[in-house]
């Protein structure tokens, strides 16, 4: 009983300290920030003083982001694997998700460590106050830590899936426009730049990858290496096939426009098949909300009056 009382006092004290430190940090941030009246008074007393420009605000935001990156990289050093094969897989996953920074792996493991600590900070007081340091409590703590540790994996895989889907759905339209440009007499690099400028609003992810490929070609890299890296960087099998088709067409001197047209027709067929597959799955997926939410209401409306009449009849008899 005494130990339970001490544990409860310790939990209450830790919660009080956490709330106090959080409130102190918020109030300190607000207090350090000058008010609007003070800023106006300073501008009246010193007319030469100017408001912070957008460039200064961007520099301040960049400094904050740099500090966050440094903190995350330091926090994730202990979780970073030593095996180069595992590091290569993580780099490729982050690259497919659109994270190209050199510190992406360090920040990724820093986020894993941060979410692990957050999961423990949330679970430990709640579990100890309810279950104590029993086997059940330790199990819940381990589950919370595992959820926090693997939460960045879920987010990265979700971003990667959306990015791959966006590239896959936008690639047939980009190839159609590229075919028109190539058959009109433009070169492949010029056609890619034209596609990047025309489809920047509808397919921003794909246009970003094309822009990176164009920049690499302009910097002097071989086109076949750029196209091969483009297929690997995006993680889309159709993009790899497109890169292989263009490389083979250039190698054997065949028409690039014809090769692009065949690839565009194939990808458009795949996109149509994907749409038909999702439409066919809709009838099955709609059964779950239909059974859980719609069917009970319809059942009550239809069977309820009859049930009430049957119950009254049985009571009267």
Span 52-70, pLDDT tens digits: 455 555 565 556 656 655 6
3-state SS assignment for residue 198? helix
Q: With cut-offs at 50, 70 and 90, classify the pLDDT of residue 22.
A: low
Span 212-240, pLDDT tens digits: 888 888 888 888 888 888 888 888 888 88
3-state SS assignment for residue 51? coil
What pLDDT does residue 112 have? 84
Span 76-107, pLDDT tens digits: 565 666 677 777 888 888 888 888 877 788 88
Span 196-218, pLDDT tens digits: 888 888 888 888 888 888 888 88
Span 122-143, pLDDT tens digits: 888 888 887 777 888 888 888 8
Report the distance separating Cα 106 and Cα 113, nearest Å.
11
What is the residue-averaged pLDDT of the chain?
77
- Average pLDDT of the segment spanning 253-264: 82
- Average pLDDT of the segment spanning 269-294: 85
Compare 63 and 181 and report the one with higher pLDDT.
181
Q: DSSP labels for 84-152?
A: HHHHHHHHHHHHHTT---TTHHHHHHHHHHHHHHHHHHHHHHHHHHHT-SSHHHHHHHHHHHHHHHHHH
Structure tokens at 310: 């049957």
What pLDDT does residue 107 have? 81
Compare 40 and 49 and report the one with higher pLDDT.
40
Using alpha carbons, select from 229, 291, 238 the residue that is nearest to residue 260: 238
Query: What is the chain's length?
Result: 317
In eight-state DSSP terms, residue 49 is: -
Structure tokens at 93: 């996953």
pTM: 0.67
- Average pLDDT of the segment spanning 189-200: 85
Report the distance separating Cα 40 and Cα 84, nearest Å.
56
For residue 289, pLDDT beyond 60? yes
Span 291-300, pLDDT tens digits: 888 888 887 8
204-218 vs 188-198: helix crossing angle, rounded to 10? 150
């Amino acid at each position: 009983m005494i130990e339970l009382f001490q544990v409860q006092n310790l939990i209450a004290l830790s919660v009080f300290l956490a709330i106090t430190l959080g409130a102190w940090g918020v109030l300190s941030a607000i207090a350090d920030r000058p008010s609007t009246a003070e800023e106006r008074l300073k501008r009246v007393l010193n007319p030469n003083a100017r408001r912070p420009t957008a460039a200064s605000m961007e520099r301040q935001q960049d400094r904050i982001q740099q500090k966050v990156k440094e903190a995350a990289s330091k926090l994730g050093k202990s979780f970073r694997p030593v095996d180069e094969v595992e590091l290569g897989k993580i780099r490729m996953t982050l690259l497919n998700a659109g994270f190209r920074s050199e510190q992406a792996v360090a920040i990724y493991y820093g986020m894993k460590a941060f979410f692990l600590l957050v999961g423990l900070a949330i679970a430990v007081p709640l579990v100890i106050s309810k279950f104590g340091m029993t086997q059940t409590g330790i199990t819940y703590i381990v589950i919370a830590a595992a959820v926090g540790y693997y939460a960045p994996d879920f987010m990265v895989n979700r971003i990667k899936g959306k990015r791959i889907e966006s590239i896959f759905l936008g690639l047939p339209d980009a190839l159609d426009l590229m075919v028109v440009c190539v058959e009109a007499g433009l070169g492949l690099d010029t056609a890619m730049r034209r596609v990047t400028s025309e489809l920047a609003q509808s397919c921003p992810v794909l246009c970003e990858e094309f822009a990176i490929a164009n920049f690499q070609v302009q910097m002097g890299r071989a086109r076949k290496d750029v196209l091969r890296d483009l297929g690997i960087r995006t993680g889309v099998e159709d993009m790899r096939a497109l890169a292989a088709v263009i490389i083979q067409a250039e190698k054997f001197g065949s028409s690039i426009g014809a090769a692009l047209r065949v690839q565009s027709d194939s990808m458009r067929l795949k996109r149509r098949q994907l749409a038909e597959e999702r439409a066919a799955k809709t009838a099955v997926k709609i059964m779950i909300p239909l059974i859980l939410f719609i069917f009970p209401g319809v059942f009550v409306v239809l069977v309820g009056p009859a049930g009430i009449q049957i119950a009254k009849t049985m009571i009267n008899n």
